[in-house]
Structure formats: structure tokens, C-alpha cells
Amino acid sequence: MGFYDLKGSSGSEKSWNYAHKDQPNYMLSIEGTVVEISNPQSINFATKKPEFWDDGNPKRNICLTILGKSGKELNFIFNPKSYAANACLDALDPSNSRPNVSVLELMGKFIRVQTQEGVYNQANPRPWWVTILGDGDAGMVRGVVDLSKQQAQQQPVQQQQPQQQGRNNFGPPPAPAQPMPENVAYAQQQAAQAMGFQQQPQQQYDNPAEAYYQDDIPFN
């Protein structure tokens, strides 16, 4: 049984604004072709920090990237064990007759996702409805993107710590690195700019998962 299976015991400009009526692009339903399915890391709604399991592995959500007829893409992000996931399951297996159902079966389908206004919390979760309207634009489908592999590749490489000096280590400890004088650093920066090199901007997100989310995260 894989991560995208819907049965079992177990921030970005693409984010769909279905909860903030006073903010731009507020919509209670979207339609389009599912062109990509991915697994972004879960972000805690209160702390805005990436979430992890007790064993240190990242918690992951399911993201359906939906391409509308206007050409705009929106991400529908939800927990694999949520009401939104159940809505996908109902759309794929309305009679509840199949032993296994995967959300990957929505790839390339033209679907409608709906919710409604209200005040929602754990005791009163947000309702969802998913309807498969037919086949979508197959030529636009990109497929499955495993963000867990991308995140692993983007983790910084830890620098090797110098060997601790002890009675069995020969020779004096290495001299500590001296800071570069400010005038030398400034001269090097000026020379690099003169040769056409520009300083690269820092990465906008500390964790790649944060690029998938805005303030409102559809966990339910």
C-alpha cells in the first residue's frame, strides 16, 4: 500500500484561496485538469513550521495541481487521512466496491473541487466535494513529482568537524581561521562586480515545503 492510496488503516501563488473572502482570488470551487500530483511536507497551521514524525521523517501531504481553462494553476493540498481525501475517494469509488483506490487515478482527469463558507475547526471540519467531469488535457499532464527526493538533495552538506586533539594525536592543533579584513573583502566584491558577477539572492524559503503553502493550509 503506497502513500497515495486512499484506502487503508492507516504559501505560494498557486495556493487556492477558499477561506479568506477579503483576499484576492477567493473561490469556493475550481475546475481543471489534474496535471501534477506531489507530496509536499506538512506545515503546522499555527507555527508555520515543517512537521516531522517521531522518527524524524517529514510528515507529507498530497497536492493536486489543477490547470484551469484560463491557463492558471492552483494547488489543492490535503492530508491523506482527511475529509478532502475522502471526497477524492468518493469521486473515484462512489459505490465503495473496490479494495484499493489511489489518488493517482485523478491524474489527467478534468475535475471540480468544491467547498462552502462557514466557520471551521477540529470539531466542525470543512466539507469537500470532488466531481470527475471527464478526461482533461492529456498534453499538459506532467505526472507525479516526489518532493521527498528533491528535499533530500537540497539538504545542506554538514561540514566535517576537526578531529579532537588528544594524547594519541600527533602535532599541534590547527590554527583557527582568521577573519578576512574588511578592506580585502570589499576589494574582492568590487572586482567580482567589475567582471560581471552578481551576488545571488538567498533562497526565499528555509524549507522547500514552505513554497507550497500560504497562510491557509487545507488540512481538513
Domains of the chain, residue spans: 29-153+205-212
pLDDT digits (tens, 9 = 90+) for 13-47: 688 999 999 998 899 999 999 999 999 999 887 88
First to last CA, the chain: 22
CB environment 97-114: b (16+ within 10 A), e (fewer): eeeebbbbbbbbbbbebb
Cell (9 digits) for 154: 537540497
Alpha-carbon span 101 to 81, nearest angstrom: 13
pLDDT digits (tens, 9 = 90+) for 39-86: 999 988 788 899 999 999 999 999 999 999 999 999 999 999 999 999
Residue count of the chain: 220
Alpha-carbon span 189 to 183, nearest angstrom: 10
What are 113's strand-pairing partners? 30, 130
Q: What DSSP designation does 43 have?
A: B
> pTM for this one?
0.66
The closest alpha carbon to 112, from 124, 125, 96, 130, belongs to 130
Q: Where is pLDDT greater, at 7 or 53?
A: 53
Check: CB of residue 33 under 8 Å from CB of residue 110. Answer: yes
Helix (H, G, I), strand (E, B) or coil at 36: strand
Cell (9 digits) for 112: 471540480
pLDDT digits (tens, 9 = 90+) for 128-158: 999 999 999 999 999 999 988 766 665 554 4
